[in-house]
Structure 1
Amino acid sequence: MKAERYTVLRTRILENYHQLDISNNEMMLLIHIVSFQAQGEDFPALSRLKERMNYSDTEIYAGIEGLIDKNIIQIKTHKNQQGQVAEYYSLAPLYYKLDQLKQVDNHEQEARETAEKEESVFNLIQDEFSRQLSPIEYQTVAEWMTKDHFDPDTIKEAVKEAVLNQAYSLRYINRILIDWRKKGKKTAFRHQSGDDMANKLPPVSLEKWIDD
């Protein structure tokens, strides 16, 4: 008996998708894309989407084109675990737009620059991890900036330090950020090697920080 699977979707997407000019059909397609990605299919075949949604080829193509034209999703490439170049649907533009909706201050230019910096954090982590972030991981990274108030540049430096230590884990990055905050550091140790950074942090088994 197969274990039941769940699709996790940020509530703000459902609350705001009409504001982003996403139609009901496009929203349903987006939900299925997220569902496939949660199962490890970052670029589900159109035939798979068609089978699950009972849509025609024309409807599937129109939905994908609509989401791309509205800059809700992007088709990007990365190297998979086998070292092969593979395509995937990136949801970074969607989360970027959602973050823009949250900007309520009067300094529009400053808000745009902040949102662009936040988007660059998502893109950097995805590039370094060579995979698409899950919705829960997107939420975690977003809360570093909106809830914990870590500066995007500091987060990016923490990502680089984690990569130097070959720790491709949000938990490990979070550990670095907390450690820097405790020490009152606003910027990373830019000129230190990975070994130097490892000496700065308490000994931690990498397995403990590898996300499931």
Structure 2
Amino acid sequence: MDRQIVQLLQAGATSISNLILKTYKRLSLSDEEVMIVIHLLSFQQEGNHFPTLHQLEERLSMPQVRLIQLLQRLLKDEWLTIDEYVDPDTGLRYERYNLELLYQRLYQCLVGENLLNEELVNREALSEVAATEQRTVNLYSQFEQAFGRPLSPFEIETLHIWVEQDRYPEELIITALREAVSVGKLYIRYIDRILLEWQNQHITSVEEARNYSMRFRRHSSARDSHPSL
């Protein structure tokens, strides 16, 4: 059983753009033709750029006659081409399937239906969500390192509120944490009071926060030195 699991893991995976799956019907490609494209991609990712008919037939549940008909249609309708490739090391000539025409027509379809911009926006949105989640995880880690222990549910919820509701910049939260460390007051409520004070003072940058803290310390030192003031 372990050996079979290892074989399954080593088999790898075939990467195919979801855009092909979303739009091939509108491109008038049949399910059978798309399956051929998927298997061509699979062979390419295995290093075989020109699988034989026999190799394709072994993976596809269709007779060779039907396979040849579909390949001929894909070539005739310019969904793919067969190019000649010269190995720079050996000088030998090889043939390989080229799917560039498929991607060109996919692009034209997306531009024509204004789907490309939508897809790019969705990708950017997902990337931003992932980046935000990663920043939050890093923020939790820095607090746990400073506190020397895992955060409590209340502390985690407070950090979440700072980021999602209060919209405090991450660098400002870290600066408030360092301020608490410098005075030996590692309490989430103390850090919350620091951030609230900075918000009331319209402080939005790390530099402004540091300058404010320095002025506050100097004022506190002067007041302690002259209690009558």
Q: Shorter-chain-normalised TM-score: which range?
A: 0.3 to 0.5
As a proportion of its length, which structure holds more helix? Answer: 2
What TM-score, normalized by structure 1, do the two folds share?
0.47
What TM-score, normalized by structure 2, do the two folds share?
0.44
Which structure has more RCO (C-alpha within 8 Å, separation ≥ 6)? Answer: 1
